Amino acid sequence: MRTYRIEVTPPDISPYSAGNTTIPYVLSWDSGVAGPHVLVNALTHGNEICGAIALHRLIADGVRPVRGKLTCCFANVAAYRSFDRAHPNASRYVDEDFNRLWNEATLSGPRRSVELARARALRPLYETADLLLDIHSMQYATAPLMLIGLARKTEDFARRVGVPALLVRDEGHAAGPRLRDFGAFAAPEAGPVALLVECGQHWESAAVDVAVETSWRFLAASGVLPADRSARILAAAVPPQRLITVTDVVTIETDDFRFTADYRGLEVIAAAGTLLARDGGREIRTPYDDCVLIMPSRRLGRGQTAVRLGRYAGLGVAESTVRPSTTLRSAQDEELS
C-alpha cells in the first residue's frame, strides 16, 4: 500500500473551542441584513486537514458577511484532536463515520457514539443552513471533485461556484446518508443546497489550495460578501466544468473484496465487461464502455462503498446505451446492501 507524505500542518483550532455560539468549535456572524445562512464545514472526517486549514484562514482573514449569516464549523473535532502523523488514517473518526449518520432514524435513535453526540449537537445548525459547503479530501491523489447529489439546484449552484472542474452526480452510500444528503438538502426542487468538495489527497499541500479557493468562490457565489469583491473572486479564470454521473455504487458484501488492479480513481475503462474486482464469488465488471472509476477505497470493509462507477456527460454516448437490466440490477444491489 502506498503511503503519502504529510505536507500539511494541522492548525491549532483550540482558540475556537468556545466559539461564539452555544456550540463549541462553531463561529457564526449575522450581518443583520436579509440573506442566506451560509455554512462552511470542515473536519467531517478528522484526518481531512485541508478543510480545517481553509476555515482557519477564513477566520484569520476576518471574513464577515455583509448580507445574511456566515457560519464556520469544525465538525468532528474529537477525531481531529487524535490526529497522529505516524498513523494519519486512524483519525478519520473515533467511534463511527460522522458522514453516515444523516437520517432521522439514526439521529433520533437510541444509539450513542462520539460522532452521534456531535451530530446531534450540530444538527440544528445544519437544519438552518441555506448553503452548505462540506470540505473533504481523498485517500488517493486524484483531481478534485465536487459531489453534488442528484438535485438540479445543487448542480446549478456548483456551476456558479465554478470549481473544481469535475462535478459528480451521485446518490451516496448504502452504509448511511451523508451530511450533504440530509433532510431538505436532498429535496429535488427548491430549498437548501449542500455541496461536498473532495479537494485532493488528504495530506498534500495542493488540497489546501483547492479548499481555500473553493471556499472563497463558494462565499462569493452565495452573496454574503460585498458584491464587488464577489465579482472579483468569480472573475478569476477557471477551467470549464465537466459532469460525471454515477450510475452504480459498488458496496462490499463479503470479507474478501479485492480489486483486480491498483485503481486510484478517475481511470476510464474502455470496454464494457472489464473485470474490476472480486467480492467473494461475485465478479464486479464495468457495465458499459468508457466507465469512470470514482474514489476507489482502501477501506474494504463489508457494507462500505468500494468504488462508484460513472460516465462523463457529453461524450456522445446516448443515455439509452446503458442497458436497462444493468441499471435495475445495480439499483437493487444497492438497496439490499
> Where does this chain bind Zn ion (CB under 5 A)?
45, 48, 136
Three-state secondary structure readout of the chain: CCCCCCCCCCCCCHHHCCCCCCCCCEEEEECCCCCCEEEEEECCCCCCHHHHHHHHHHHHCCCCCCCCEEEEEECCHHHHHCCCCCCHHHHCCCCCCHHHCCCHHHHCCCCCCHHHHHHHHHHHHHHCCCEEEEEEEECCCCCCEEECCCCHHHHHHHHHHCCCCEEEECCCECCECCHHHCHHHHCCCCCCEEEEEEEEECCCHHHHHHHHHHHHHHHHHHCCCCHHHHHHHHHCCCCCCEEEEEEEEEECCCCCEEECCCCCCCCEECCCCCEEEEECCEEEECCCCCEEEECCCCCCCCCCEEEEEEEECCCCCCHHHCCHHHHHHHHHHHHHC
Closest CB 41 distance from Zn ion, rounded Å: 11
Question: In Å, how far are 102, 216, 223, 313 from 125, measured between CA atoms?
Answer: 13, 21, 19, 35
**Nearer of residues 48 and 253 to Zn ion, judged by Cβ:** 48
**Nearer of residues 212 and 225 to Zn ion, judged by Cβ:** 212
Residues 93 and 76 sit within 8 Å (Cβ to Cβ): yes
Closest CB 91 distance from Zn ion, rounded Å: 12
Closest CB 287 distance from Zn ion, rounded Å: 26
Closest CB 236 distance from Zn ion, rounded Å: 26
**Nearer of residues 291 and 300 to Zn ion, judged by Cβ:** 300
**Nearer of residues 136 and 308 to Zn ion, judged by Cβ:** 136
Closest CB 48 distance from Zn ion, rounded Å: 5
**Nearer of residues 136 and 180 to Zn ion, judged by Cβ:** 136
**Nearer of residues 83 and 288 to Zn ion, judged by Cβ:** 83
Closest CB 136 distance from Zn ion, rounded Å: 3
**Nearer of residues 56 and 180 to Zn ion, judged by Cβ:** 180
**Nearer of residues 79 and 269 to Zn ion, judged by Cβ:** 79
Residues 35 and 67 sit within 8 Å (Cβ to Cβ): yes
Closest CB 8 distance from Zn ion, rounded Å: 15
Q: Which residue is nearest to Zn ion (CB)?
A: 136
Closest CB 198 distance from Zn ion, rounded Å: 7
- Name the one residue in this structure whose C-alpha cell is 484532536: 81
